[in-house]
Structure 1
Amino acid sequence: MTDTSRATPRAEGRPRAGRPPAATAADDPAAAGQRSREARERLLLTAEQLYAEQGIAAVSLRQICRAAGNGNNNAVQYHFGDERGLFEAIIAHRVPRLDRRRAELLAAARAAGLDQSVRGLVDVLFRPLAEEARRLDSSYVGFLGRFVSAPPDRHPWFAGGEPAGPVGHEVSLAILDRLPQAPAALRGLRLRHVVELCLAALAGFGQLPATSGSEAVAYDLFVTDLFDMAAAALTAASSAVDSPSHGVAENS
Structure 2
Amino acid sequence: MLVASRRGRYSSGQETRLLLVETAERLFAMRGYHPVTLADVRAAAGQNNASVVRYYFGSKEGLLTAILDHRLPRISAYRGELIREWVAVGATFTARDALWCLVEPLADSVRRGEYYVALLDRLLEAEIIGKTFIAADPGGTASGFEIDRVLHGVIADIPEDTRKQRVIMVYTSVLGTLAQYARTGAELAPTELPALVDAWEGLLCAPTSEETRETRALAGR
TM range (shorter): 0.7 to 0.9
Give 1:69's aligned residue: 46
Structure 2 CA distance for aligned equivalents of residues 97 and 87 of structure 1: 17
Which is richer in helix? 2
Give 2:146's aligned residue: 170
Which structure has more relative contact order (CA 8 Å, sep 6+)? It is 2
Give deviations 1:23-79, integer Å, cap 9, x for gaps.
5966x3x54443332222111011011222233233211010111122222322222
Q: Report the alpha carbon displacement of residue 197 of structure 1 after superposing the two structures with TM.
A: 0.5
Q: Report the alpha carbon displacement of residue 104 of structure 1 after superposing the two structures with TM.
A: 2.0
For structure 1, the residue ranges without an aligned partner over 5 or more in a row are 1-21, 209-215
Pair 114,228 (structure 1): closer, same or farther in 2 beyond 3 Å: farther
Q: Once superposed, which parts of structure 1, at least 4 consecutive aligned residues long, lie more than 6 Å away?
A: none
8 Å CA contact 1:99, 1:165 repeated in 2: yes
TM-score by length of 2: 0.81
Pair 180,34 (structure 1): closer, same or farther in 2 beyond 3 Å: same
1:119 counterpart = 2:96: yes
Give deviations 1:175-194, integer Å, cap 9, x for gaps.
21221232123333322221
The within-5 A match list for 1:73-88 is 73-88=50-65
Aligned AA (1:146): R
TM-score by length of 1: 0.72
Q: Report the alpha carbon displacement of residue 97 of structure 1 after superposing the two structures with TM.
A: 0.6
State the superposition RMSD in angstroms: 3.0
Matched pairs, number: 215
Give 1:16's aligned residue: none
Q: Report the alpha carbon displacement of residue 206 of structure 1 after superposing the two structures with TM.
A: 6.2
Structure 2 CA distance for aligned equivalents of residues 189 and 76 of structure 1: 38
Deviating more after overlay: 238-247 vs 116-125: 238-247
Highest Rg: 1 or 2?
A: 1
Give 2:134's aligned residue: 160
Residue in structure 2 matching 1:190, options 132, 142, 166: 166
8 Å CA contact 1:52, 1:139 repeated in 2: yes
Q: Report the alpha carbon displacement of residue 113 of structure 1 after superposing the two structures with TM.
A: 5.1
